[in-house]
């Protein structure tokens, strides 16, 4: 296998990022370490949707190809604190096992990633020492602001346990030995906190690589009070949430359901800003496929093949690519990506039983 240059490895990571804090530090890290450690964390709750079961595996592919050692944190204690699955830790851990099945079915090489349970981390007194040290170096105001990483706004605190959630997530980074935090933009507050706290408590300053937040099918929502940066705030408010079926496509959806949902999705003609269908084309289709074919009747211009997102966006803005034609193409390629996962859970008895149990206990937001 031909060894990649630092520049090539950097490009692979930059390609999956919306923001890097900082690019200079990431490049230096890649020069100094052939296999830096990164993590992504997941609260085990609910059924897997496209951002989890399709988008995340595509990001993992780039990171692994860049030589990054990935740790996937199954944050069962965090989900417990956040009241997921009715606050039942056993059910939460069952979802964690289901998550691993989704990754496996999506093509993630489970031999190249390390799955870590938060419940194993919390067994260490060293972990709780980190939690306390972080808490002692963080103001209450900062802690309340960080609660948005739980999907909660300031003022929505319900239990005292939720106050330690940001401290735990910050401690996770150091307990896992992470050089890079690789999570969504909605998690940036605690990742930035880790950079500030690390050197204060005798630890290091992780590099923050934040990835894109996929939009929900309903399109753009107004600011939700999750972040001072208006664009990030709107992105969080508008994200595809697995707890809101009207905004989501799940990895268990049939081909017919995918087409129906995409057909109904928000997709204004000629508009690119906050357009979920273009969002999926850019961040999923052109990441997974070398080209995208849009099939059309000859009277509408006939079939057209796009080899890059810019070409597709250009035609859409010009009006030469109709929203319905775009939707049908996006639905087709999403189905191709979802199909292996869906079929894995249909054919594998153990996986199917896990799915059916999770579905039985699933709860949705109103």
What confidence tens digit (pLDDT) does each residue in 286-316 have? 999 999 999 998 888 899 999 999 999 999 9
Scan for tokens 């929505």, then name that residue.
156
Structural contact between residues 229 and 188, judged by C-beta atoms closer than 8 angstroms:
no
Residue 361: pLDDT band with limits 50, 70, 90:
confident
Q: What is the pLDDT of residues 40-60, one digit of tens each?
A: 999 999 899 999 999 999 999
Per-residue pLDDT at 366: 38
For the chain, list the domains and their CATH numbers: 6-211 (3.40.50.620), 241-361 (1.10.240.10)
Q: What is the pLDDT of residues 189-226, one digit of tens each?
A: 999 999 999 999 999 999 999 999 999 999 988 777 67
Q: E strand or H helix at 71, and its extent?
A: strand 69-74
Per-residue pLDDT at 184: 94
Single pTM value for the model: 0.92
- Residue percentage of the chain with pLDDT more than 90: 80
**Using the 8-state DSSP alphabet, how is residue 216 labeled?**
P
Per-residue pLDDT at 301: 85
Q: What is the 3-state secondary structure (H, E, C) of 199-255?
A: HHCCCCCCEEEEECCCECCCCCCCCCCCCCCHHHHHHHHCECCCCCHHHCCECCCCH
Distances 178 to 100, 138, 171, 341 between C-alpha atoms, Å: 21, 20, 10, 29
**Nearest C-alpha neighbor of 228 from the set 191, 192, 189, 273:** 189
pLDDT at 336 over 50: yes
**Nearest C-alpha neighbor of 215 from the set 251, 186, 252:** 186
- How far apart are the C-alpha atoms of 290 and 64, rounded to whole Å? 19
Per-residue pLDDT at 152: 63
Q: What is the pLDDT of residues 67-119, one digit of tens each?
A: 999 999 999 999 999 999 989 999 999 999 999 999 999 999 999 999 999 99
Per-residue pLDDT at 321: 96
- Residue percentage of the chain with pLDDT more than 70: 96
Q: Summarize the confidence of residues 339-366 as an average pLDDT.
A: 87
pLDDT at 26 over 60: yes
- How far apart are the C-alpha atoms of 355 and 94, rounded to whole Å? 10
Q: Summarize the confidence of residues 267-275 as an average pLDDT.
A: 96
């Amino acid at each position: 296998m031909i060894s990649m240059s630092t520049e090539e490895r950097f490009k692979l990571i930059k390609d999956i990022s919306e923001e890097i804090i900082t690019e200079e530090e990431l490049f230096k890290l890649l020069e100094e370490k052939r296999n830096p450690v990164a993590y992504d964390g997941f609260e085990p709750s609910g059924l897997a949707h496209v951002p989890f079961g399709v988008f995340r595996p595509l990001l993992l592919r780039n990171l692994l190809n860049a030589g990054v050692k990935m740790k996937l944190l199954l944050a069962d204690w965090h989900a417990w604190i956040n009241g997921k699955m009715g606050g039942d830790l056993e059910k939460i851990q069952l979802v964690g096992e289901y998550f691993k099945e989704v990754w496996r079915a999506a093509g993630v090489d489970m031999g190249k990633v390390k799955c870590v349970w938060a419940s194993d981390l919390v067994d260490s007194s060293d972990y709780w020492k980190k939690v306390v040290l972080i808490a002692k170096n963080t103001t209450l105001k900062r802690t309340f602001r960080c609660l948005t990483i739980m999907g909660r706004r300031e003022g929505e605190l319900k239990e005292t346990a939720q106050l330690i959630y940001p401290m735990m997530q910050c401690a996770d980074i150091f307990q896992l030995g992470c050089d890079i935090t690789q999570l969504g933009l909605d998690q940036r507050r605690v990742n930035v906190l880790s950079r500030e706290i690390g050197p204060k408590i005798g630890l290091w300053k992780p590099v923050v690589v934040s990835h894109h937040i996929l939009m929900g099918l309903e399109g753009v929502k107004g600011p939700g009070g999750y972040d001072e940066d208006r664009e990030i705030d709107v992105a969080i408010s508008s994200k595809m949430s697995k707890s809101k079926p009207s905004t989501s496509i799940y990895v268990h959806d049939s081909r017919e359901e995918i087409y129906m949902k995409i057909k109904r999705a928000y997709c204004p003609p000629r508009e690119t800003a906050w357009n979920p269908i273009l969002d999926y084309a850019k961040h999923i289709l052109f990441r997974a496929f070398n080209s995208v074919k849009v099939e059309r009747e000859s009277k509408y211009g006939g079939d057209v093949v796009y080899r890059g997102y810019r070409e597709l966006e250009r035609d859409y803005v010009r009006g030469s690519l109709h929203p319905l034609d775009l939707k049908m193409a996006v639905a087709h390629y999403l189905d191709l990506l979802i199909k292996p996962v869906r079929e894995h859970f249909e054919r594998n008895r153990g996986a199917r039983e896990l799915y059916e149990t999770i579905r039985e206990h699933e709860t949705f937001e109103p």
